[in-house]
Amino acid sequence: MSHKILLFTLLISSTMFAQQANVKDAFLEKWDNSKTYLLEMAQLMPEEDYEYKPTERQRSFAEQLEHIQGNMDWLSTKYFSREKEKSDTFPSKKEQIITSLEKAFDAVGETVAATSEEELKETVEFFAGPKSKLQILNLLLDHVTHHRGQLIVYLNLKEIEPPRYVGW
């Protein structure tokens, strides 16, 4: 292999690795897509069905959205030292709920964007034991995904076709 081809291959490989190695940018891209996907679901459910719950022991559609937002607010303020911006009351009208969720997603995104890669390596005390701030970011995404999956079921039970999946 010629030296030029080898050098070119190494340059391309190192550029691709550098792009993949930026954990924060990868999170922010996924976070933005997660926001888009959840807000599309929230738009699809008619307001009169926001109190719908498949069984008595489950949360209503609106309560699921409130729980998702509450978790985002808690994890981002407690573990990333962002000043608490949410009120203690969750809105009751569909459009207000959607706006509130959008602001919460944006606030988390801004907080993560302002967090250094070094800070993501820091360990914090968590109820499940010591975790890195990177693990807290993973939990943020995983929690939204978990409850969004439940909301897909709610939409299907109401015979509403969920939006097309938005991934990376």
Task: For the chain, list the domains and their CATH numbers.
Answer: 22-157 (1.20.120.450)
Task: Compute mean pLDDT per 10 residues along the chain, 168 residues long, and list them.
Answer: 52 49 89 96 97 96 96 92 62 92 95 93 93 95 96 98 86
Sign of CA dihedral 28, 72, 167, 119: positive
- Which residues in the chain belong to E strands, given as ranges? 123-124, 131-132
The pTM of this model reads 0.82
Euclidean distance between CA atoms 24 and 168, whole angstroms: 14
